[in-house]
Amino acid sequence: MTDPLGGLEPVREPERPDAPPQPRPKRPFIPTTWLLLAVIAIGFVAEGLVGKDTSVQDTAALFRLGALYLPAVRSGDWWRIGSYAFLHIGWAHIAMNAWALWILAPQLEQTYGSNLTLGFFAATALAGGGASALWAVVRAGQPALAAGASGGLFGLFGATAALAFRLRHRIPPVARKTIYRRIGTTLLINLAIAFFFPVDSAAHVGGLLSGTALGLVAPLRTLPVRPWHRPAHWVIVGSALVLAAMEGAAVAWAVRPKPRTLSGAGVTAQVPGMLAPSEPGMAVLPGAAYIDVRRENLPLTIEPDEDAIRIGERTWVRERDNRDNADITILAAKDGEAHRLIIEFGCGAEFCRGPAGEKMVEQTARTIRVVP
């Protein structure tokens, strides 16, 4: 202020110190979340490269890249118990699971740590795959392909529920009720989805129960150390290594599928690896292709006007047909004077039509053998 008459010294207001700049909040370090999202995305891209259309179920692409299928597991594809978790059936499927992963994983990473969070996903994905295969054995129905990260995601959900339970005394009552309400609502939504849509409920239950159990025994930095924490830590982290090994085996097999041995009544043959033995003499890829080998107690006479081809050591009579949008090829060859060998091949997918299908039939015909 100043005196209008000029008799007073001006009064200066004290200078206010500038407020220190507020630091920006650091973004949480969540490498496991980003890693899982990246691997799932790579798997989906691989489906598009191997198959024809990622917007629908491409059975051949899913099977080749490691989808869970009980007959294939029985045939030696042990890695499918885990590799199924990185594959998805269509855009809606992967979008829903990626969103669930983004919601669940970061919170667990900030509490249990990145290594344990990765182990939670791996261990529960393996538990979900094992539960799915076991349930397929118990129900003894038609085996189906299974794919998706839902087993591991339900495991993360179970670990989140276990975390809320372990920290319940440190959470205000209102917040605790909100967390439990969200958990219950999410469970009800998933039960409704399982009721109306064809999902692998066994994998979901296996992942949920194992995730809850592991979340209860895993070491937590804010709680006292218990004797079981160290062995639980190694089991959980070790599961990540097991899942990585399974995915590596799946990639190696996808690059070069190995043939399988198919045994039937009185015969055995090497069939394409893309078909898994489902019953004696029959190997299938569900909804795509099948091959049937058998020995019949009927003689075979080859007429001059028949389509006869030479494969290996035998002359085969070939018949072709088309039923239900599937190309059918039937080969018959003499086996002595009173028997015949039959190979029936059906294909309803692009991967086995034309020359590729002929090569599959020829492989079987060259390797078929009569056994006691």
pLDDT (tens digit, 9 = 90+) per residue, 55-83?
445 889 999 999 999 999 999 999 999 99
Residue 290 makes CB contacts below 8 A (sequence gap 6+) with: 275, 282, 283, 284, 344, 345, 346
Phi-psi region of 295 (alpha: psi -120 to 50; beta: other; left: phi over 0): beta
CA 212 to chain centre: 21
Tell me the pLDDT tens digit for each residue of 133-185: 999 899 877 788 899 999 999 999 999 999 988 988 887 877 777 777 777 77
**What ranges do the domains of the chain cover?**
31-255, 260-370
286, β-bridge pairs: none
Token pair, residue 260, equals 């399988």
Nearest to 289 by CA among 59, 132, 126, 71: 59
Q: How confident is residue 2, by pLDDT bands cut at 50, 70 and 90? A: very low
Tell me the pLDDT tens digit for each residue of 15-35: 555 556 666 666 778 899 999
Token pair, residue 18, equals 């500038």
Tell me the pLDDT tens digit for each residue of 96-119: 899 889 988 998 999 999 999 999
Architecture of domain 260-370 in CATH? Sandwich (2.60)
pLDDT given at position 184: 74
pTM of the model as a whole: 0.86
Q: Is pLDDT above 80 for 13?
A: no
The residue with tokens 């893309």 is: 274
pLDDT given at position 303: 83
Q: How confident is the prediction for the chain on average, in pLDDT?
A: 87
What percentage of the chain reaches a pLDDT higher than 90? Answer: 61
CATH class of this structure's domain 31-255: mainly alpha
Give 279's DSSP letter. E
Q: Count CA within 13 A, CB hemisphere, residue 311.
A: 23
